[in-house]
Amino acid sequence: MPLFGKKDSGKKVRKETKEGCEKQPSIDEKYVIKELLGTGAFSEVRLCEHRETAQQYAVKIIDKKALKGKEDSLENEIRVLKRFSARRSDGTGVGIGPLPGQTDKPPRFAHPNIVQLLETFEDKSKVYLIMELVTGGELFDRIVEKGSYTERDASNLIRQVLEAVDYMHEQGVVHRDLKPENLLYYSPAEDSKIMISDFGLSKMEDSGFMATACGTPGYVAPEVLAQKPYGKAVDVWSIGVISYILLCGYPPFYDENDANLFAQILKGEFEFDSPYWDEISDSAKDFIRQLMCVNVERRFTCKQALAHPWISGNAASSKNIHGTVSEQLKKNFAKSRWKQAYHAATVIRQMQRMALSGGGGGGGAYGRSASRISNAAADGTTPAPAGSDQDQQQSGTAGVGQTDSSASSSK
């Protein structure tokens, strides 16, 4: 049923039964809402506790007034999350059952690496999403804090992401905004699993292809920027970008000039810079090339990626690369950088304006005068390897440092 416009304030979204509409308690009757965990443009996330069981969850609280005109986006997110919300194995073979008071439905196991929506509430001014609580922190923060980090660690992380996204694709869902900020550790435990979160831009691929430009430019596939119809392959490209960053600590595409940056993405032009990639295995580089292939027909699917030796075999090196990677992550992905999503539609409009004016990259999505930043550093420059020419000449043209012979342009 649609969420908005109901008159029964404070009541859970009603569920149709054979007897009619079943009245449900308000959120305050079932949960104690506690401290703030995070904030977004239209919402905040708080800790909440189930009154009957004392089990803790996260509650995403969406302000209807702030969301006005974007209600369809929220309804789409809930629709997608409900597709994954079912009994689920926690990795021990034990299913996560229904909440107290809910009827036990036939087991339909969701994926252990996807954050689960448990139930929804709505009142006159807000919508409440009760979510699985994830407490382990963001991907890059944990890597920086580690004392040791290897290719094998990166391979294990990407394997979990691929398995979850492959499951999503089998369910007909495309995430469309995969990026490190949406990859969270389930718990502070050393062996914690990775969870995929934030399905605000996800779409059920009913018609086979989509055309709406969305995502975060640094991770968005070329076909989206080119305004071509696209499908599940856009998620694979994003995983390729994340894999690249996990092995060196900086993004594959960077340039102070907006037009140059977009051209790099559209052409798939990236390099394995020396010395940052000197100790990285050829298998890892091949894996990235297969995922970041501009030709959608040749780009790996999730299943093909899972079968690659770097993921399924022993090709990933066990050499400690923590020092180099953590240094680059701290430089290029500090808390103040790369944190604001900038939808690809905005980027495309900027590209069109530049084409009409013949202008360069001064005031665009990544330029110095931009008030909103996505793949630009806090000072307006685009991240580049520490020690590169750009690092030494922040006001000059972008440099990528020394490069070896393994430059790539994946066609």
Pairing relationship of beta strands 408-409 and 88-89 according to DSSP bridges: unpaired
- State the Cα–Cα distance between residues 58 and 33, nearest whole angstrom: 9
- Provide the residue count of the chain: 411
DSSP state of 117: E
- State the Cα–Cα distance between residues 198 and 182, nearest whole angstrom: 6
Binding residues: 60
User: Can you give the pTM of this predicted structure?
Assistant: 0.75
Residue-range domains of the chain with CATH:
15-131 (3.30.200.20), 139-403 (1.10.510.10)
Q: Phi and psi for 373 in degrees, rounded to 5?
A: -125, 140
Q: Specify whether the CB–CB gap between 141 and 173 falls below 8 A.
A: no
- State the Cα–Cα distance between residues 242 and 255, nearest whole angstrom: 18
The first and second tokens of residue 328, run together, are 């680059």
Q: Phi and psi for 44 in degrees, rounded to 5?
A: -135, 155
Active centre residues (catalytic)? 177
Closest to 133 measured CA to CA, from 116, 121, 146, 147: 116
Binding residues for ATP: 60
- State the Cα–Cα distance between residues 178 and 288, nearest whole angstrom: 16
Written as tens digits, the pLDDT of the chain (411 aa) is 345 544 444 444 444 434 444 567 899 999 999 999 988 778 899 999 999 999 999 999 999 988 887 787 788 888 888 888 764 444 433 334 444 444 334 334 578 999 999 999 999 999 999 999 999 999 999 999 998 999 999 999 999 999 999 999 988 888 888 999 889 999 999 999 999 988 777 676 665 555 455 556 778 889 988 888 888 999 999 999 999 999 999 999 987 776 777 889 999 989 999 999 999 999 999 999 999 999 999 999 999 999 999 999 999 999 999 999 999 999 988 643 444 444 444 555 555 554 444 444 333 332 222 222 223 333 333 445 555 544 433 333 222 233 343 455 555
